[in-house]
Structure 1
Amino acid sequence: MFHPTVARLTYRALLGRRRALILFALPALLVIIALAVRMIAGADDSTAGGILGGFALGTMVPLIGVIAGTGAIGPEIDDGSVVYLLAKPVPRPTIILTKLLVAIGVTVAFSAVPVLLAGFLLNGNSQQIAVGYAVAAAVASVAYSALFLLFGTITRHAVVFGLVYALVWEALVGTLVPGAKTLSIQQWALAVGQKAAAEGAIISDVQLPLAIGLLVALTVAATWYAGRRLKALTLAGEE
């Protein structure tokens, strides 16, 4: 279910010059902020949690997910080059799964790893905050990649929809509106990260069993439907 050629082409597309600049810029900004705060204010658990939870998990991770998830397939559908891929004797579910795994790998590398580094810079991993938020970022990366990959298969405006979801729903509604928090990938990921950190260091409004169930359900459903959408694309001459 993993195709090396599709993976190589997807990596090349995601790490092209324009996307690579954005992918590197966001983690670099997080690390710079963490270093500056540590030099100015010293180690502080509350400040570390605010930066890692607010900027990193609340903004940076979903934005990277948008770039990786939609970029894994959206541009190929938009410019029509996907027909060359679909003409190959590769099952379409395999194409989707391969692209999802690549998107997850890129999102984890550019989000969870910088979050871990920033956490150590901010407070030396006091109360396991760095590890907890890094785990949350990795878990969120999986769900974001699946969701935004799905967006890439159903609309030509996948990036716009992804940004609306990331910046409006996750960063604003899902953080401030109590009822909406249950439907927030960020809150689900925090529930997992909460178990990796010291008690009380990370707080989520969603219970862990529900969070895991929703994360799995979203990832599986989005991947399955993305595969269905790709199968629905027909080539000239196909019956």
Structure 2
Amino acid sequence: MRSGLYHPTVARLTFRALLGRRRALVLLALPVLLLLISVAVRLLTGADDATANTVLGGFALGTMVPLVGVVVGSGAIGSEIDDGSVVYLLAKPVSRATILLTKLLVAVGVSAALCVVPVLLSGLVLAGGGQGIAVAYALATLVACVAYGAVFLLLGVVTRHAVVFGLVYALVWEAFVGNLVPGARTLSVQQWALAVGGRAAADSAVTSDVGLPLAVVLLVAVTVLATWYAVRRLRTHTVSGEE
């Protein structure tokens, strides 16, 4: 049985599943909307760091990134489990860990491609490149894509309702509770990512309620544990598709 971190055939099939015409349109809608909002705000108010933080922190990192993560992460394997086609993949001489890790790499890559560049461009439009805000949010977005990829891929493995649970998490916890309830921010991927991204911004232009050491520990722990458990659960799927 072949093992490793990456399998080209699995990656190709995952890319094809994620970037189908209908799914691609859904995934592109939010990045395009972010760019349109950024251009409109810049034309109306000019370059402003506070406005940049509001748009990038509230809409981009707080809403767009987790929503894209839900669609991509859960879709990387959830649809195959739902329609039963995963049994054909699991019957191949490829280890379950390789399958899962390949799908995670593809999910993170697709999410990053859809989110990091638009966030960077929006940051440059809104803040004019001042104080490294654009780079800081782009870095935070990349970090968040990795964590969300692992978490939502796990949801795609453990439940047939991954999109529903993912949307509840993204819209209720990250976009609402995590922004309004101070204590809940410690358990917010958004805040962890901001702590990492904030290192690229001068004069604390980008801040987080979580310290950098704790944020790094939590990001690594969540990503590793989610990936490990997803592999473990995938191993319980038999070729017949039963658990």
1:56 aligns with 60
In structure 1, C-alpha distance between the alignment counterparts of 2:50 and 2:217, rounded to whole Å: 29
Shift in Å, 1:236: 3.4
In structure 2, C-alpha distance between the alignment counterparts of 1:80 and 1:237, rounded to whole Å: 7
In structure 2, C-alpha distance between the alignment counterparts of 1:46 and 1:100, rounded to whole Å: 34
Q: Contact conserved, 2:17 with 2:76, CA < 8 A, in 1?
A: yes
Alignment of 1:55-204 (within 5 A): 55-204=59-208
3-state SS in 2 of match to 1:232 = coil
Which residue identity is paired with 1:34?
S
3-state SS in 2 of match to 1:76 = helix
What's the TM-score, normalizing by structure 1? Answer: 0.98
Shift in Å, 1:199: 2.0
1:2 aligns with 6
* Aligned partner of 2:237 among 218, 227, 233: 233
> Does residue 47 of the first structure (1) align with residue 47 of the second (2)?
no
Which residue identity is paired with 2:218?
L
1:33 aligns with 37
Shift in Å, 1:45: 0.9
> Does residue 221 of the first structure (1) align with residue 225 of the second (2)?
yes
Matched positions, count: 238
In structure 1, C-alpha distance between the alignment counterparts of 2:9 and 2:102, rounded to whole Å: 9
Moved over 2 A (4+): none
In structure 2, C-alpha distance between the alignment counterparts of 1:139 and 1:12, rounded to whole Å: 24
3-state SS in 2 of match to 1:169 = helix
What are the Cα deviations for residues 132-181 of structure 1, in whole angstroms up to 9, with x where unaligned? 00100000000000000000000000000000000000011111111111
What are the Cα deviations for residues 30-54 of structure 1, in whole angstroms up to 9, with x where unaligned? 0011111111111111111110000
In structure 2, C-alpha distance between the alignment counterparts of 1:186 and 1:174, rounded to whole Å: 8
- Using the aligned pairs only, state the percent identity: 71
CA-based RMSD of the aligned residues comes to 1.2
Shift in Å, 1:89: 0.4
What's the TM-score, normalizing by structure 2? Answer: 0.96
In structure 2, C-alpha distance between the alignment counterparts of 1:43 and 1:190, rounded to whole Å: 21
3-state SS in 2 of match to 1:199 = helix
